[in-house]
Structure 1
Amino acid sequence: MTVLKALKKIFGKAEGEQPNPVTPPPVTPSAPRVQPDASADKPSRSASPRTAEAAEKPLQSKEKPAKPRRERPAKPVDTWKLEDFAVVPAEGKTRFHDFKLSPELMHAIHDLGFPYCTPIQAQVLGYTLSGRDAIGRAQTGTGKTAAFLISIITQLLQTPPPKERYMGEPRALIIAPTRELVVQIAKDAADLTKYTGLNVMSFVGGMDFDKQLKLLESRFCDILVATPGRLLDFNQRGEVHLDMVEVMVLDEADRMLDMGFIPQVRQIIRQTPMKGERQTLLFSATFTEDVMNLAKQWTTEPAIVEIEPENVASDTVEQHVYAVAGSDKYKLLYNLITQNDWIRVMVFANRKDEVRRIEERLTRDGISAVQMSGDVPQHKRIRALEGFREGKIRVMVATDVAGRGIHVDAISHVINFTLPETPDDYVHRIGRTGRAGSSGTSISFAGEDDAYALPAIEALLGRKIACEMPPDELLKPVPRKH
């Protein structure tokens, strides 16, 4: 017993004490496993860091009692039927009903108020809906954007997406030369896909890269609209992969040639499937030899659609030219706007510094104006365009960056403060007015520095434009604002 007592004393156990229970060492809990998103067949190649942080964040032991939720009204059931989109057949016109389009797409077309196809839509869709490549030539404002979007949406709805797919793998790719055109195409695509469940994304330079990346990581991309430079940024960083592109569209191919984008476009196209394995649509306002050579490289037995207007410039645009000294141009502009009380006017100039000066003088003289040029940051350009579109701004002063692809209803007048050096740009400028059958007016100021451009413009139009002297009341001095 003495030995036993001694042993217990050594181990710190007095006689009669109960042994302490053995406490196991603390175990560090493993991070909960993140369940894969049931809606995705394949995770994004660029996993969002926020997902991992959320998975490792421990649950709080005490939580605030949840506020009672209000009853949400039941979502109204969409009862729209194709019968609600009744369009009477008309001789010489093609209805969207004449093509096999999905009810979801027809619903969107109905919402937009388009009962009949424009000529280029009628001709292009006849080929592209059967899967053929196509090259289309049409002037601005003819509806070509809707033509290729309807074809893309139909293809994506008829063909289920692949089971193995990353977030950054678009199924359709549209490349356009300017930021404004990309934004406009993406807006039109969103309008046409709103009942389909397809996702539309747009990537342009001059806007926050990380925001665009976060959007790409948040959901699958079905239709991607982008400028060449920003698309290459995403592609070279491994965020966008073009190996699953089913339909590729090159819009304003002639403008991309003029702006020097073709080397970048070639790099992009090399990342897509071979031309026989994708559908390729190419649109251009002009069919130069260079444009046709590109089309031959990138398309397979394309259908060629050319829409020739009766005149190069729209019949709905009344055209005037005022012969005026350069020093009197601003007075003429100010008096035209104020004396006629015009409320939505586009003014074009050839150089960025001219655009800035005109906008600043109009603003100083009490006329609400914004400028649109390559020097203006993209977010400001979008805000300016929306203000002009909504009627909050009376005058938009722009370089030819705004000459194509900007759709603003009810522009009553286009003024060429300086005549463009390229005759085609004249056509695109005045095409901002007189759209969709409405009437419009263009007024060009021909001064000592730019009157030389007039003969080439008249040659393109195939007719003379009478040159007038402005009446004296339009050359009155601009009143000073106190």
Structure 2
Amino acid sequence: MLKALKKFLGKDQEVAQPTPSPAPQATPSAAPEAPSSPAPIAPEPQAERAPRKPRTPGETRSQEFRPQEPRAQVEKSAKPRRERSPRKPKPIDTWKLEDFAVEPQEGKTRFHDFKLDPRLMHGIHDLGFPYCTPIQAQVLGFTLKGKDAIGRAQTGTGKTAAFLISTITQLLTTPPPKERYMGEPRALIIAPTRELVVQIANDALDLAKYTGLNVMSFVGGMDFDKQLKQLEARYCDILVATPGRLLDFNQRGEVHLDMVEVMVLDEADRMLDMGFIPQVRQIIRQTPPKSERQTLLFSATFTDDVMNLARQWTTDPAIVEIEPENVASDTVEQHVYAVSSSDKYRLLYNLVAQNNWERVMVFANRRDEVRRIEERLTKDGISAAQMSGDVPQHKRIKTLEGFRAGKIRVLVATDVAGRGIHVDGISHVINFTLPEDPDDYVHRIGRTGRAGASGTSISFAGEDDAFALPPIETLLGRKIGCEMPPAELLKPVPRQR
């Protein structure tokens, strides 16, 4: 029995070991089968780089820092980057620098004084900018020499054109590297809101339209695939983006930031207040070290936090501080109502309801105040929405779209959230509480009376915030008449059925 069993097992083993057959030869078209669920690839640690040597005009990036092989795919959805064929030359532009004649004027700086590229000068000429604003003159004096810079400037001082002109000049002076792939921007501009990104990108397109440089913008709240298609269609020279959407592209392996030569951070104080700095840190870690890139940082205020960030991200920066020429627009009619804190909401409701105002911005100092005002207005039948640091970015975008479209009558905001809002047709700005910083008052009332239109600001001065009025008047250089509200504006708010 035992012998029979061994014999049986011996035969079975022979069957289980088939004679090896020669392996088939692989054809060039054969592709390895993709695993059903690949494990994520850990990001490769960046090698330390030697400090960048000063770059002379026309010098290209060193081969040491140029990628020679395409990177591994970060995810299975990431597509391999394709090299593009050289762009066809455009017809020769007949415009000449002599067509842009600007006479020297005492106390003013011309763009001609910086010897900018004629293609860039053509764009400046089309925009009708013969002379630099103060911040443009000061910033360009440093950045065109390759220095880092941090600037304090308010809205309307021309800071956007200052860093765009500097950035475009750098890209035109230094040819792009020969080894180049899609999704590798040479200049990166980060801004906190979609509206600001769109504005900067439009200005960049106008200035760079004769240079052949490609400008792209990435923002949340818009179709991801549409933005991806433009990235796959052409090289990216200047990328303007919000932090969250840029990280989306970066983490999917669609955008790589190790070729960034110029990085701009606009409205750094707002990014701090809106909680974006952790995302910005992630982004900056993907760029070359600060010794190998030029970094420009702009902020409306120079707080300790902003200056700490500047020290971390810049190298021996030039510091430029500019005050706006006009503190408050002459097109804004300003009023102050003396009212007790308990009557402020009643006054707000009656002003909006009785006058049938359709597009009003209300400012308050604290997020909880903003939330309570918005909730009460909505409960009392007035369409309202809030803008503060507590509101997610995608909701902020929808809120602004509704406000622009007239679906929202009252937008209640903090200073941080409201400072960068540029919406045409805001008829009234109401300061539910007076700001402690007089500069914030100027920012608030500047939301109305834009583009030559007239506007009205109304401030409520109560027992808790009337102390803020004298510093505001000092900044404005004049008194603002304080009046008692009419009795009909203090009527009780009707109950909603």
| TM-score, normalised via structure 1 length | 0.70
Does residue 1:469 correspond to 2:458, yes or no? no
Structure 2: gaps spanning 5 or more residues: 1-26, 31-67, 81-89
- CA shift in 2, pair 1:362/1:310, >3 Å: farther
User: Which residue among 183, 196, 218 is the counterpart of 2:198?
Assistant: 183
Shift of 1:88: 3.3
- CA shift in 2, pair 1:104/1:360, >3 Å: farther
Contact 2:346–2:492 (8 Å) recurs in 1: no
Match of 1:214 in 2: 229
User: Which residue among 463, 467, 470 is the counterpart of 1:455?
Assistant: 467
Shift of 1:228: 1.8
- CA deviation map 1:130-157 (0-9, x unaligned): 2111110112221111111111111112
Match of 1:157 in 2: 172
Distance 1:106 1:252 in 2: 26
Q: Give the alignment of 1:47-62 within 5 angstroms.
A: none
Match of 1:59 in 2: none
Match of 2:350 in 1: 331
Does residue 1:276 correspond to 2:274, yes or no? no
Match of 1:146 in 2: 161
- CA shift in 2, pair 1:372/1:183, >3 Å: farther
Distance 2:190 2:148 in 1: 16
Does residue 1:301 correspond to 2:301, yes or no? no
Secondary structure (helix, strand or coil) at the match of 2:464 reads helix
Distance 2:91 2:407 in 1: 37
Shift of 1:313: 5.2
User: Which residue among 108, 111, 116 is the counterpart of 1:101?
Assistant: 116
Per mean C-alpha deviation after superposition, the further-off stretch among 107-116 and 294-303 is 107-116
- CA shift in 2, pair 1:118/1:438, >3 Å: farther
Per mean C-alpha deviation after superposition, the further-off stretch among 287-296 and 404-413 is 404-413
- CA shift in 2, pair 1:277/1:454, >3 Å: farther
Does residue 1:195 correspond to 2:207, yes or no? no
Secondary structure (helix, strand or coil) at the match of 1:442 reads strand
Match of 2:151 in 1: 136
Structure with greater Cα Rg: 1
Shift of 1:78: 5.8
Does residue 1:258 correspond to 2:273, yes or no? yes
Distance 1:361 1:87 in 2: 58
User: Which residue among 186, 189, 199 is the counterpart of 1:174?
Assistant: 189
Distance 2:376 2:152 in 1: 36
Structure 1: gaps spanning 5 or more residues: 1-27, 32-40, 53-74
Shift of 1:383: 4.5
Does residue 1:399 correspond to 2:413, yes or no? yes
Aligned length: 407
Does residue 1:126 correspond to 2:141, yes or no? yes
Contact 1:248–1:279 (8 Å) recurs in 2: yes
Distance 1:223 1:431 in 2: 30
Match of 1:242 in 2: 257
- CA shift in 2, pair 1:80/1:475, >3 Å: farther
- CA shift in 2, pair 1:207/1:86, >3 Å: same
Per mean C-alpha deviation after superposition, the further-off stretch among 406-415 and 138-147 is 406-415
Secondary structure (helix, strand or coil) at the match of 2:102 reads coil
Per mean C-alpha deviation after superposition, the further-off stretch among 227-236 and 170-179 is 227-236
User: Which residue among 113, 116, 121 is the counterpart of 2:128?
Assistant: 113
Contact 2:359–2:403 (8 Å) recurs in 1: no
Per mean C-alpha deviation after superposition, the further-off stretch among 236-245 and 353-362 is 353-362
Distance 1:354 1:45 in 2: 52
Secondary structure (helix, strand or coil) at the match of 1:88 reads coil
One-letter amino acid of the counterpart of residue 135, structure 2: I
Distance 1:229 1:29 in 2: 41
Shift of 1:179: 2.3
- CA shift in 2, pair 1:219/1:310, >3 Å: closer
- CA shift in 2, pair 1:362/1:417, >3 Å: farther
Distance 1:220 1:287 in 2: 36
- CA shift in 2, pair 1:469/1:300, >3 Å: same
- CA deviation map 1:23-82 (0-9, x unaligned): xxxxx9979xxxxxxxxx998988999999xxxxxxxxxxxxxxxxxxxxxx99965443
Contact 1:42–1:166 (8 Å) recurs in 2: no
- CA deviation map 1:154-211 (0-9, x unaligned): 1112221111112111111111122222222222222222222222222222333333
Secondary structure (helix, strand or coil) at the match of 1:201 reads strand
Per mean C-alpha deviation after superposition, the further-off stretch among 235-244 and 392-401 is 392-401
- CA shift in 2, pair 1:278/1:29, >3 Å: closer
| TM-score, normalised via structure 2 length | 0.68
User: Which residue among 224, 242, 247 is the counterpart of 1:232?
Assistant: 247
Secondary structure (helix, strand or coil) at the match of 2:278 reads helix
Shift of 1:336: 4.9
- CA shift in 2, pair 1:90/1:352, >3 Å: farther
One-letter amino acid of the counterpart of residue 397, structure 1: L
RMSD: 4.1
One-letter amino acid of the counterpart of residue 310, structure 2: A
Q: Percent identity?
A: 75
One-letter amino acid of the counterpart of residue 413, structure 2: T
- CA deviation map 1:356-383 (0-9, x unaligned): 775897878xxxx998674664764574
Distance 1:206 1:281 in 2: 27
- CA shift in 2, pair 1:408/1:432, >3 Å: same
- CA deviation map 1:213-263 (0-9, x unaligned): 233222211111122222222222222111111110111111122222222
Distance 1:471 1:302 in 2: 54
Secondary structure (helix, strand or coil) at the match of 2:302 reads coil
Shift of 1:441: 3.9
Distance 1:201 1:274 in 2: 23
Match of 2:59 in 1: none
- CA shift in 2, pair 1:288/1:312, >3 Å: farther
Contact 1:135–1:303 (8 Å) recurs in 2: yes
